[in-house]
Structure 1
Amino acid sequence: MNKKPVIGALAFSLAIVMAAGIYLGLGARPQLGLDLQGGISAVYTAELPDDVETPEDFEDILDETIEVIRARVDSLGVAEPDISRSGTDVLVQLPGVADADRLQELIGTTAQLTFRKVIATVPPGAEPQPETAELPAIPGYDEGPDCTAPVDEREELGTDERGLMCGTEDESQPDPETGELKVPKYFVEPAALTGDRIDDAFAAFGQAGGLAVSLELDSEGAAEFAEITAELACERDQGFPGQGRFAITLDGIVESAPTMAPGVQCGVGIRDGSASITVGSAGSQQEQEEEAQDLALILRTGALPISLEAATFETVSATLGADSLQAGLLAGLIGLALVGVWLIGFYRILGVVAMLELAVFGVIVMALISLLGEVGFALTLAGVAGLIVSIGIAADSSIIFRERIRDEVNLGKTVRSGVQKAFTSAFRTNLAGNTVTLTAAVILYFLAVGPVRGFALMLGIATVLDLFILYFFTRPIVFLLANTRFVNRKTVRAADTAAVVTAGSR
């Protein structure tokens, strides 16, 4: 037997094991999933108005919604977010996230942004006003949406409709009759511009020193914005009742309704394609900064094509995840110990080699999982289960090889020649079995969703790694040991030929 290829294969496998060990020694660790490190798990249901039928392209709308949510979550740097669709529901799992309220608002905010001309401000207690030569009939405060109701339960105003919209709580005014603080309403025109034209959005300090979200429009949006602001500047100069005000609305709320500044010229407008939304002054400076950053993120990643309602929103504690991980690792260690005791007790020196195989398997697979964590993969409890199953796969390969060796020696071959023949037969058997397992893992990975994919991925990686170790580590070590006194008929548990002859003579 030519030892050079055998020694080369062993050196190659040991180099990989050494590299994996160094990688882990430098502090690389697997990225843990939601069920192991805690986080947020939510199910969102798409909301359609009662009088609206489900559109034909509803599935495409849901897919687009998922992409918008994924963009928002990715902007926060969440590792391995699992955002998928199950029927008409959107499943969101975010490992390692603790601020549930912030994430819930970021994910569920529709962020439908519009720019509308303000016809009039309708303060609390205002009565309806008749139509005049300059203004249409203005509804009273009691008409339109109920500004005390939750935002998602208020009457919506379509982008092509004229009507009333609620202001923000920062603008609250006392009702003349009851003295109760109520937000004002704005009587606005149909949307002149929508958030689809936003090219960028970022938090900044406004002109008054407070926090604001600065908007940059694309070229087409900038041209439309310049045209609209030019008209509003003319209305301001002519003293129209609306005073050239422009409402910036977000999800049905007038976030800001500024008057055209004196520097904006009639017929010219704002031509740099920029606008800003003032952030509310409530809360601490840090909370205002966070609000501005979140609003900028939402506007930058785009509006949700459809409104979502959280059917379930749960926070998985890190303690529960740690308990699950410890239970999984304990089960794996117990299984490994039992397999090791049996292999060493039955196969002796070749059993020790089998334990070395499992150690090599463990080092390489941990390094691979840690490396995959760098690109977003997170190990879940299902993945741990896949790794535990893979211990049996690796042990099975060892047993097949050693049983083939014993069979060949029982047929009269020497240990040295029997090992070579046994490996060819055992590798062919393992290749066939592992091909079936790998095929099942691939099918399961592409058809399943959520944690089941983690199980399939770990099973597939373990299957490929098992073949690699069998060929590049087990084969050369056993081949080399076959040339020593450590491996003989007795250590491979071959039949005692003398006893067989004696039994036959009787």
Structure 2
Amino acid sequence: MPPVRRSRPSRGLLTTGVVLAALYGGMAATGHYGPQLGLDLRGGTTVTLAAKPNPGQKVTSSELNTAVNILRNRVNGLGVANADVHTEGTNIVISVPGKDKQGVLDKIGETALLSIRQVYASNDPVMTGVTAPGLSATPSASPPPAASSSSSASPSPSPSPSPSGAASPATPKPSASSAGLGVGRTPGIQLAGFVRQAASAASSAATASPSPAPTASPAAPSPSPSPAANPGYYAVPNAETAPTPQEIAAYQALDCTKPENQKGGITDDPAKFLVTCGNVDGGWYKFLLYPTLIEGKEIASASAQLDPQTGTQWTVQLTMKSGAASRWAKFTAANVNKDTAIVLDGLVMSAEYIAEAIPNGKTQISGNFTHKTASELANVLKYGALPLRFEQQSAETVSATLGNSELRAGLLAGMLGLLLVILYSIFYYRGLSLVTVSSLALSAAIQYPLLVLLGQGIGYTLTLAGIAGLIVAVGVTADSFVVFFERLRDEVREGNSLRSAVEKGWLQARRTIVSADLVSLIAAIILYWLAVGDVRGFAFTLGLSTIVDLFIVFAFTKPLVTLLSRTDFFGNGHRFSGLDPAHLGITRLPGTAGGAQRPVPARRV
């Protein structure tokens, strides 16, 4: 056996103190002092959507992240607070606290709708290629009575609802610089973008001076956008050719500075004009849009690429399917220098104007893009209708009362299990139970801030299954004490003094402890990787507790036993220490006064 090196318990105890200070300091810095509870503990609705790729298609993390962003915008658009959307493997889990009053279960799994539309009117002064710029020039001081009584854009029942406000629209001051596209809750519009044929040699001068657009009178209830009754380039055959009076009234009444009108998620009927909002460099503007020109499902591909002409400017290269390409060619030929908008879930995501006719469907969108904003816009175009098909795998609704009951039951079960471990430790190990109780208390003191910080850092939520993992981990921690204490007592029985037995027993015990904890950790990792739903919560807390146990055994338990072995109470084998000779089956402790060790005579039966 290698020589036993002198132990320095103060180092481990100091490390433990530093870790505790860091954890609780971090918790104080976040301003949160409780873990995030899962819906099975606080009540609410959880829906698990399973990705169903097409044959030969692989589910990628990029596609899942894009789907999460789209679904998160959809959930936020329902006005639900504190909702959580995250991935679990190839599944997406949507958790909504509270009762399902908003019909969340019926809406969150719907496919988000992407469309490209022509801009009929907008109060954004940068939009110079609209059909009816005068429609926003003299907004009414107060909306018509029909508009003010509706929560949607349409003042009366209409098949084309959209958000509306009760006050006259305010015109935010535009910024001179263009805003990058955001895929979060308030996406921004890429300004000053223009659409042209991909790899075209057209000069930038052709796009610098857009031709004057016709001006429609705001008093006219239904100005005609085109000489033809149906120009033939809409995505649906029976599209409206002019906005209805209700749609015009809803547009004039719309106030895009109100948060309730900035969430999207409204009905996007491709056959009707759409009244909606968009964020331009921090300022919200309203839009009245023609029926859908191109639907998201008609886009074949989209990617961020450098402009082949300049080699320095980032663009979005867009390819449309054959049917859409022919309609797009007809539209761009008839509407050069007119504005278009990309709409996702009823909210304008990007706005551009047509620089030239595009006969083949291969389109280049240019603007003040960076690689990031170009990639984000390309992802919106590719995945606006969700990159994957999802099926509802499970749905569960838990009342807040039931959640509180389960939380109390889980905590009660944990306390009972902990109490049994402590009672057994006191009964069998006596004074050494001080180490057991202190280590278990330290384990709880470390795991609690860890759960709080993980909730704020990675969105971890503690579920009933997670509490079960913490309870099981109490047994894992207790196993480490048993292994160490039994090796310590074996070394004393073999004639080693208590101080020497602590060091020699630790060398033998730590290999067993590490091996056992690694087995538990590997099992937890495999279970977390393969499982879904609540089982992953169990695996996560089990693995976390195992890692904490390893730290405590090395940094606290072993140093504490070393310090206790230097005291008279334990060193002289007091009968309540757990190391008294009678308890160990010997006559005297080695290294203490009273002579050599003699075995206790066997009892006659």
Aligned to 2:272: 254
Aligned to 1:140: none
| 1:252 positional shift | 3.6
Q: Give the counterpart of 2:37 among 13, 32, 42.
A: 32
Q: Give the counterpart of 1:496 among 574, 577, 586.
A: 586
Aligned to 2:532: 449
Q: Tell me, yes or no, if the aligned pair for 2:117 and 2:341 is still in contact at 8 Å.
A: no
Q: How does 1:322-361 map to 2 (within 5 A)?
A: 322-361=404-443
- Any gaps of 5 or more consecutive residues in structure 1? 48-53, 119-167, 173-180, 185-201, 261-265, 278-292
Q: How does 1:260-339 map to 2 (within 5 A)?
A: 269-270=337-338, 295-296=346-347, 302=380, 303-305=384-386, 313-339=395-421
| 1:79 positional shift | 6.4
Q: Tell me, yes or no, if the aligned pair for 2:32 and 2:452 is still in contact at 8 Å.
A: no
Q: Tell me, yes or no, if the aligned pair for 1:6 and 1:476 is still in contact at 8 Å.
A: yes
Q: Deviations over 1:407-449 (max 9, x none)?
A: 1111111212111111111111101111111111222222222
Q: Tell me, yes or no, if the aligned pair for 2:50 and 2:92 is still in contact at 8 Å.
A: no
Q: How does 1:151-230 map to 2 (within 5 A)?
A: 170=154, 209=169, 216=189, 222=195
Aligned equivalents of 1:45 and 1:21: distance in 2?
A: 38
| 1:6 positional shift | 1.5
Q: Tell me, yes or no, if the aligned pair for 1:354 and 1:395 is still in contact at 8 Å.
A: yes
Return the letter of the residue paired with 1:81.
V
| 1:313 positional shift | 4.9
Q: Tell me, yes or no, if the aligned pair for 1:171 and 1:183 is still in contact at 8 Å.
A: no
Aligned equivalents of 2:469 and 2:230: distance in 1?
A: 67
Return the letter of the residue paired with 1:354.
T
Aligned to 1:429: 512
Give the structure-1-normalised TM-score: 0.64
| 1:108 positional shift | 2.0
Aligned equivalents of 1:66 and 1:419: distance in 2?
A: 52
Question: Structure 2 vs 1, CA of residues 205 and 217 (structure 1 numbering), >3 Å: closer, same or farther?
Answer: farther
Q: What's the RMSD between the two structures over aligned residues?
A: 4.9
Moved more, 299-308 or 401-410: 299-308
Aligned to 1:399: 482
Q: Give the counterpart of 1:81 among 70, 80, 85.
A: 85
Return the letter of the residue paired with 2:599.
V
Aligned equivalents of 1:423 and 1:214: distance in 2?
A: 59
| 1:496 positional shift | 3.0
Give the secondary-structure state (helix, strand or coil) at the position aligned to 1:41: strand
Question: Structure 2 vs 1, CA of residues 30 and 79 (structure 1 numbering), >3 Å: closer, same or farther?
Answer: farther
| 1:239 positional shift | 7.2
Return the letter of the residue paired with 1:398.
F
Q: Deviations over 1:330-387 (max 9, x none)?
A: 1110000010011012111111121000000000011111111111111122211111
Q: Deviations over 1:269-293 (max 9, x none)?
A: 44xx56599xxxxxxxxxxxxxxx9
Q: Deviations over 1:13-71 (max 9, x none)?
A: 13323444566687521111222222322255889xxxxxx943555499836632345
Q: Tell me, yes or no, if the aligned pair for 1:231 and 1:267 is still in contact at 8 Å.
A: no
Q: Tell me, yes or no, if the aligned pair for 2:492 and 2:498 is still in contact at 8 Å.
A: yes
Aligned equivalents of 1:358 and 1:218: distance in 2?
A: 59
Q: How many percent of aligned residue pairs carry the same amino acid?
A: 30
Give the structure-2-normalised TM-score: 0.54
- 1:101 counterpart = 2:99: no
